[in-house]
Structure 1
Amino acid sequence: MSLDIESSSAATAPPGAPAPSPAELAARHGLTVSGARPGLGAYVRQLWGRRHFITSYATARVSAQYTRARLGQLWQVLTPLLNAAVYYLIFGLLLGTDRGVDNYIAFLVTGVFVYTFTQSSVMAGVRAISGNLGLVRALHFPRASLPIAQTIMQLQQLLMSMLVLFVIVLMTGELPGPSWLLVIPALLLQSVFNAGLALVMARLGSKMTDLAQLMPFILRTWMYASGVMYSISHVAAHAPQAVKILLGLNPAAVYIDLMRFALIDSFTSEQLPPHVWAVALGWAVVMGVGGFVWFWKAEERYGRG
């Protein structure tokens, strides 16, 4: 190949003039490095051009996920419900963490459903590249399509589960009100945050093959620190101020609290951390934009090595 380029360089150079370098010759004829990372703006445009592929891929994965299970898509709802039942038995009845919490069933189920969305997005992001190496190596497309599609897949599952969540909340005595509309911006901000986090985990998971085995332990610890089964404001009432600040900045807890505030009348603004909407927006922007840029910087390395 180098001999052919040098021969071509010599053939195109005027007599007595220095032959152009291979890089100059490639630029002259519009040749680019195979698999080179495009600029950030071009990458965003490529990703937007694949938007139909992203949504179709996510929908197909949702449909195929439980095809071998007898109950099929019903498991999308049964899984968080069974988790909520187990947590209610252990934390509500045995450990008594329902003390100080009105309408504990709605409180708990809302926390489980919302946290499951983030947890599932993280686990899907870890495997987004490493679990699709055949696709990554065979086709040229923006690799960010995969973790973003995985997040959309988890969002679709959550939206189906939300119907059951609304029924449970209604059965516990809550009535629909204007505050229920806050579910939309809260879910939108959480989706952006989850997508950015999935992009971060996809880059890490593409090189760290054991990350998928480690993440369940990290996610379980994060869940216990996010107030899924208990009220953070009640448990941390006498904690040091630094602990209260850290718990209030926990993104998983922030999005859970916003959803509870929207759906449960007894969950008032006094139980929310200060400036909760600003914190939710900040996490969405920082993780969404930062995760996307960090993933893009390794675009040419995915699927290699």
Structure 2
Amino acid sequence: MSQVLHTPPQAPAPADDDLAALAARHGLSVSGARPALPEYVRQLWARRHFITAFATAKLTAQYSQAKLGQVWQVMTPLLNAAVYYFIFGVLLGTKHGVPDYIPFLVTGVFIWTFTQSSIMAGTRAISGNLGLVRALHFPRAALPLSFCLQQLQQLLFSMGALVVILLCFGVPVSASWLLAVPALFLQFTFNAGVSMVMARMGAKTPDIAQLMPFVLRTWMYVSGVMWSIDKLAQKDSLPHVVTVALAANPAAVYIDLMRFALIDSFHASQLPAHVWALAAGWALVAGVGGFIYFWKAEETYGRG
């Protein structure tokens, strides 16, 4: 006689709505869920000491294996400036008609390096720190912000060499040097915003980090680092709309503001119209827009 085995009927799986209600009843929430924007800002502010400590530690460790150590923070942009001076100033003759060309060039190189390094570091902020992102719970915007702060610290360290160069080439100390403070603040805000945009894009597509050096190099060449946009604007070889676009380029705006603040031969007539409003506008658009763009993908970082 055959015996039929009957398996007991299984209870239906609970619906997603039932699970959500059960979790809410017991005070549970989704792990890594994106907080509201005001709460996200508060969490970032609460971790401000972590951001500054992480930036300082990264800066200290950056040249720890080199024999000259932190001296490379100054030597790297100075060597770049020397190469650009030989190629553009001497061979291509861009120094002609530009007063105080060496202070003009070195200021441009230092300020551009700040933007370039911040964006490159921001591109790898998430994809290059997945272990930290997956191990600890913190607002992910802390990473690109800390890398931008690291580059600001490096720039401030290098400014000592810039001041020496200015004095050696006869540029006097003046009250206008104080304008460097708001100019750097606006540039830092702009850099942080762009870095957060690139951090989100780099987290999803790490290959972007391989493309960025070419994009940034092209951006440098059109930002007046080695040549004067004002001198170009006086010629009729380019359409007026092109020269206006070059002058309104955010990298060129912040470079020009620093040159205006530090070099007495760089006059206000060489600045684009409404330059401070332009600098503040770029900082606001990039800073706020980049922060919101990064925040919207908070739940996705470190997953998959």
The alignment partner of 1:195 has SS state of helix
Q: How far does residue 69 in structure 1 lie from its aligned partner after superposition?
A: 0.4
- Alignment-derived partner of residue 265 in structure 2: 266
Distance 2:240 2:89 in 1: 27
Q: Given the alignment of the two structures, is residue 163 of structure 1 paired with residue 160 of structure 2, yes or no? A: yes
Aligned equivalents of 1:116 and 1:141: distance in 2?
29
CA deviation vs aligned residue, 1:111-168 (integer Å, no higher than 9, x gap) = 0000000000011001100000000011110000000000000000000000100110
Q: How far off its partner does 1:213 sit? A: 1.1
Number of residue pairs matched?
Answer: 291
Normalising by structure 1, we get a TM-score of 0.93
**SS of aligned partner of 1:256:** helix
Match of 2:204 in 1: 207
Q: Is 2:274 aligned against 1:275?
A: yes
String of CA shifts for 1:168-227, please: whole Å, max 9, x gaps: 011111101111110000001000101111101100111112111111111110000000
Name the residue aligned to 1:173: 170
Match in the other structure for 1:249: 248
Letter in 1 for 2:300: R
Of 236-245 and 51-60, the range deviating more from structure 2: 236-245
Q: How does 1:49-128 map to 2 (within 5 A)?
A: 49-128=46-125
User: Equivalent residue for 2:5?
Assistant: none
* SS in structure 1 of the partner of residue 95 of structure 2: coil
TM-score, L = length of structure 2: 0.93
Alpha-carbon distance between aligned partners in 2 of 1:210 and 1:26, rounded to the nearest angstrom: 39
**Equivalent residue number for residue 293 of structure 1:** 292
Instruction: Assess if the C-alpha contact under 8 Å between 2:232 and 2:243 holds in 1.
Output: no
For 1:18-29, what aligned pairs fall within 5 Å after superposition? 21-29=18-26
Kindly report structure 1 stretches of 4+ aligned residues shifted beyond 4 Å.
3-6
Counterpart contact for 1:5–1:22, Cα < 8 Å: no
2:7 corresponds in structure 1 to none
The secondary structure found in structure 1 opposite 2:29 is coil
**CA deviation vs aligned residue, 1:83-122 (integer Å, no higher than 9, x gap):** 0000000111111001120000000000000000000001
Listed one character per residue, the Cα deviations across residues 241-260 of structure 1 (whole Å, up to 9, x for unaligned) are 21122112100000000000
State how far apart, in whole Å, the 2-side matches of 1:188 and 1:36 are.
Answer: 32
Do the aligned residues in 1 keep the contact of 2:52 with 2:149 (CA within 8 Å)? yes
Which position in structure 2 is the counterpart of 1:12? none
Matched AA of 1:261: F
RMSD: 1.4
Q: What is the deviation of 1:22? A: 2.2
Aligned match of 2:221 = 224
Instruction: Provide the C-alpha distance between the structure 1 equivalents of 2:12 and 2:227, rounded to a whole number of angstroms.
Output: 70
Report the alpha carbon displacement of residue 24 of structure 1 after superposing the two structures with TM.
Answer: 2.0
Distance 2:291 2:82 in 1: 36
Residue 149 (structure 1) aligned to one of 146, 151, 159: 146
Partners in 2 of 1:166 and 1:39 — Cα distance?
A: 44
Instruction: Give the structure 1 partner of residue 30 of structure 2.
Output: 33
SS at 1:174 equivalent? coil
CA contact (8 A) 2:74 2:158 kept: yes
Give secondary structure in 1 for the equivalent of 2:158. Answer: helix
Match of 1:138 among 135, 138, 150: 135
AA in 1 matched with 2:78: L
SS at 2:125's partner residue?
A: helix
Alpha-carbon distance between aligned partners in 2 of 1:241 and 1:201, rounded to the nearest angstrom: 31
Kept in 1: contact 2:171–2:264 (CA 8 A): yes
Q: Distance in 1 between matches of 2:301 and 2:118?
A: 19
Unaligned runs of 5+ in 2: 1-10
- Report the CA distance between 1:25 and its aligned residue: 2.4
Partner of 1:13: none
Question: Which of 249-258 and 22-31 deviates more?
Answer: 22-31
State how far apart, in whole Å, the 2-side matches of 1:145 and 1:5 are. 40
Deviation for aligned residue 1:5: 9.3
Structure 1: which 5+ residue stretches go unaligned? 10-19
